Amino acid sequence: MIAGSSEIKPVSFIQFAPSSAPMPSAAMRGNSITFPDGVNLSLQEGTAEGIADLLAIYRSHCRMVGGM
């Protein structure tokens, strides 16, 4: 290094990958959701991930139309 200069060190990132594929979550049956605007939704079957995705879509829709 030259006097008066600073050495720039590269930044490195490490990505961790699971050793095996994650197990799918078990199906949840008979779920009911009541939204703040009064919409009632009855789901016969769904996974936790699917229900979370549904809630995210509903939330983004409400933001677009000026709700919640």
Give the predicted TM-score (pTM) of the model: 0.54
Is 50 or 23 the better-scoring residue by pLDDT? 50
pLDDT digits (tens, 9 = 90+) for 37-61: 888 888 888 888 888 998 898 888 8
N-to-C CA span, the chain? 57
Instruction: Locate 25 and state its tokens.
Output: 């979550």
For residues 51 and 32, give the distance between their C-alpha atoms in angstroms, rounded to a whole number.
11
